[in-house]
Amino acid sequence: MRDATVIGGGPSGLAAAVWLAEKGYDVAVVEVMGELGGMLTQCIHDGFGTRVFGEALSGPEFSERLVKKARLLGLRTFLNTYVKEVRIGKEFKEVVAVSPAGVQRLQTRVIVYAIGCRERNGFEIRLGGARPAGVYTAGMVQRLVNLYGVLPGRRIVIMGGGDVGMIVARHLHLEGVESILMVFPEAGFAGLPRNVQQCILDFGIPFRPRTVVKKVIGKERVEGVVLTRVDEKWNPVEGTEEFHACDTVVLALGLVPYTGELKLGVRMDPATRGPEVNEFFETSVQGVFAVGNLVQVFDYVDDAFETACIAARGVEKYLNSGLKTAPIRLSPGENVRMLTPQRVEWVDDADVPVFLRPAVEKANVRIVVRNREGRVLGGFFKRYVRPSTLERIEVPRSMLSNLQEVSIDIAED
């Protein structure tokens, strides 16, 4: 029986597997696609790995470094293999997977889920109108353009002003499409300021805030969209509808942890929309860990990578019968939309990294840790916070001792 089986061969899964293999643990990676690297194989722009490798790499370069390490270590990988079921027994766990070779049953002491996130689709925002050809998710466009050299269309409307939408807009512009229009319901772009400058403003790509696509028009192929302005609550403003001719609609509506693929009853967090985890990224099922974008959507792959390394330490503790205490619950307080981990429970000396998404945009604030009674236990000064940038603090373990519950909020400094 193996020590650990990692489900998902993206950067997080590979990082966890490599960490464990380097320590001599018997570990395997199961990946549904025909190659390792996950989403990064199609992200050919640079900016990945500044923290992990100290260089700004493209997505494929980042994943190639991990794949090389995996090969050198002789890591066992199952490609084109889809995990269909996971069984949790008393003595061991079983991963049931299907591949062209048939059904595989892998017995393992630990499972690390690293299956990433998925894109929100048109049904989730009740996109109206017809269903012609020419409506794509941004990820699919990225794949078509960057991996297969195929342009999805010539006159493009992109719905959504987040990072993925901006990056895809720049690629399409550089590939020479005739026109691009970005529309989004917020008053400003929802992604990183760096991407607003480098992807949109530097290339003069047109965009319309407080605007959404109400309807897609077209029989066989997209012929246009009906745009409408929206108010600050995103309600359509009457009388502002207008037809805009285009042949392609790109949905860049945000990413959501891919939890539909979790094949066992782990406790979920409605705020992150991922599984609830402890400080070593173990889910509510003992010996089942979750890492990377499956846990919460991280802005940078470097953060997803870090969760995998933390989880690998947790796997090691689990395999060596590390001790746990009564859990201390961590919950988002005022001005914090979500945070990870949601509980702290291992006996350990290390400080606890906490990743949190601000709900507000503010300068000169303090991220404050409070006990159940609201007493401040400690604070971390931040020059500027905004919802598009995930924050990371390290909570000293001593700050949490003898507590059952803490909340973390963002307050004026």
Ligand X SMILES: Cc1cc2nc3c(=O)[nH]c(=O)nc-3n(C[C@H](O)[C@H](O)[C@H](O)COP(=O)(O)OP(=O)(O)OC[C@H]3O[C@@H](n4cnc5c(N)ncnc54)[C@H](O)[C@@H]3O)c2cc1C
The rounded distance, in Å, linking the Cα atoms of 121 and 100 is 29
The minimum distance between CB 159 and ligand X, in angstroms, equals: 14
173 residue type, one letter = H
The minimum distance between CB 117 and ligand X, in angstroms, equals: 6
Tokens (6 digits) for 408: 């973390």
The minimum distance between CB 142 and ligand X, in angstroms, equals: 6
Query: Is the Cβ of residue 83 or residue 182 nearer to ligand X in the bound state?
Result: 83
Which residues touch 100 (CB under 8 Å, ≥6 apart)?
80
The minimum distance between CB 257 and ligand X, in angstroms, equals: 9
Query: Is the Cβ of residue 99 or residue 371 nearer to ligand X in the bound state?
Result: 99
Query: Is the Cβ of residue 160 or residue 292 nearer to ligand X in the bound state?
Result: 292
**What is the three-class DSSP state of 258?**
coil
The minimum distance between CB 410 and ligand X, in angstroms, equals: 24
Query: Is the Cβ of residue 7 or residue 336 nearer to ligand X in the bound state?
Result: 7
According to DSSP, residue 249 is labeled E
Give the closest residue to 205 by CA, choosing from 166, 245, 175, 153.
Answer: 166
**Which H, E and C letters describe 232-293, residue by residue?**
CCCCECCCCCEEEECCEEEECCCEEECHHHCCCCCCEECCCCEECCECCCECCCCCEEECHH
The minimum distance between CB 308 and ligand X, in angstroms, equals: 8
Query: Is the Cβ of residue 117 or residue 127 nearer to ligand X in the bound state?
Result: 117
**What is the three-class DSSP state of 68?**
helix
Contact criterion met (CB below 8 Å) for 352 and 400: yes
Query: Is the Cβ of residue 50 or residue 371 nearer to ligand X in the bound state?
Result: 50
According to DSSP, residue 218 is labeled -
Contact criterion met (CB below 8 Å) for 12 and 115: no
Query: Is the Cβ of residue 32 or residue 217 nearer to ligand X in the bound state?
Result: 32
b/e per residue 124-137 (b: at least 16 CB within 10 A) = ebebebeebebbbb
322 residue type, one letter = G
The minimum distance between CB 36 and ligand X, in angstroms, equals: 7
b/e per residue 96-117 (b: at least 16 CB within 10 A) = ebeeeeeeeebebbbbbbbbbb
The minimum distance between CB 209 and ligand X, in angstroms, equals: 22
Give the closest residue to 16 by CA, choosing from 6, 26, 30, 25.
Answer: 6
Query: Is the Cβ of residue 139 or residue 358 nearer to ligand X in the bound state?
Result: 139
Give me the residues that bind ligand X (CB under 6 A), please: 7-13, 30-33, 38-40, 43, 48, 82-83, 114-117, 119, 138-139, 142, 164, 167, 255, 261, 292-293, 300-301, 304
The rounded distance, in Å, linking the Cα atoms of 106 and 4 is 10
